[in-house]
Amino acid sequence: MIRDSNADGNDSILIEYYDMDDINPDSLRQYRTEFRLENSTHVWNQVDDKTFLRNLGGYIEDRQTGREGYI
């Protein structure tokens, strides 16, 4: 809730020091299962988890620092 309290929004701000180890694997697996059921022929069903999140726009690389993380 604190993250969402910024009046300017936080949808494109990198959350520092978070990486794939901070993703709950069960939650991601459940989401991907639902995605796959709704989009059975989508090309993203063939990619790894990190690429999947990157394609959704939830995992980025900061172009200035090269640091990867979540937004």
pLDDT in tens, 34-61: 999 999 999 999 999 989 998 987 877 7
Secondary structure (DSSP) of 9-57:
--TT--BTT--GGGS-HHHHHHHHHHHHHHSTT-GGGGS-HHHHHHHHT
The first and second tokens of residue 18, run together, are 């978070």
Distance CA 50, CA 2 (A): 25
Residue 57 region by backbone torsions, left for phi larger than 0, else alpha for psi between -120 and 50, else beta: left
pLDDT at 19 exceeding the cut of 50 = yes
Give me the percent of the chain exceeding a pLDDT of 70: 66
Distance CA 27, CA 49 (A): 12
pLDDT at 1 exceeding the cut of 50 = no
> Model's pTM, two decimal places?
0.69
